[in-house]
Amino acid sequence: MTNLHAATRRELLIASGTLFAWAYLPKIARAEGRDPRLLVIVLRGALDGLAAVAPVGDPDWLALRGNSALTLDGKPAALPLDSFFALNPAMPNLHRLYTSGAAAIVHAAATPYRERSHFDGQDVLESGLPKPGAADSGWLNRALASLQPAGPAG
């Protein structure tokens, strides 16, 4: 003969809580233990791309850049990224992030805009669109607006 066990309130709450938690298991399983970030550095003004990330492995680098060329044996020495490129020595934190794999460098990237207006070129860069004046918001603002909210803050 089988004895039926009447569940206590505590057992019922534990079972209900377990079933409720089970519904969230897929979401918990997808959670990552990292804090992804996007850092965008747009070089404006005097610091150009070659002053930030120098092609020190190019045999013509010194002849073309002259005294302003970054070198691995300069004072101060450029920070090597690989066998061809080196980072400006004034950027040790970016170098640390790069060598640890926490940052990537997209060097010599440009938009298709080829007109002579600096202001229109900046508008194209910030809007992420091929023509100036085509948007009233920037690419980052539109990207953030398209993300689904993570839920209530807490």
Q: Mind listing the pLDDT tens digit for each residue in 83-119?
A: 999 999 999 999 999 999 988 988 887 788 888 888 8
Structural domain includes residue 3: no
Domain limits for position 45: 37-109
Asked whether 61 and 54 are in contact (CB, 8 A), the reply is yes
| DSSP code of residue 141 | H
Residues 97 and 121 in one domain: no
Query: Which parts of 82-138 fold into alpha helices (H)?
Result: 92-99, 118-127
Residues 83 and 120 in one domain: no
Report the run of H or E that residue 54 belongs to, with start and end: strand 53-54
Provide the domain count of the chain. Answer: 2
Residues 86 and 102 in one domain: yes
Residues 84 and 140 in one domain: no
Kindly tell me if the per-residue pLDDT of 154 is higher than 50. no
Give the pLDDT confidence of 31-87 residue by residue, as tens digits.
566 667 777 777 766 678 888 999 999 999 999 999 889 999 988 999 999 999 999
Structural domain includes residue 91: yes
Structural domain includes residue 151: no
Residue with tokens 């070198």: 71
Structural domain includes residue 4: no
pLDDT of 13:
59
Closest CA to 129 of 142, 116, 118, 145: 142
Structural domain includes residue 29: no
Tokens describing residue 103: 């940052």
Structural domain includes residue 51: yes
Tell me which of 66 and 30 has the higher pLDDT.
66
Closest CA to 91 of 128, 148, 124, 51: 51
CB atoms within 10 A of CB 55: 19
Whole-model pTM?
0.60
CB atoms within 10 A of CB 113: 16
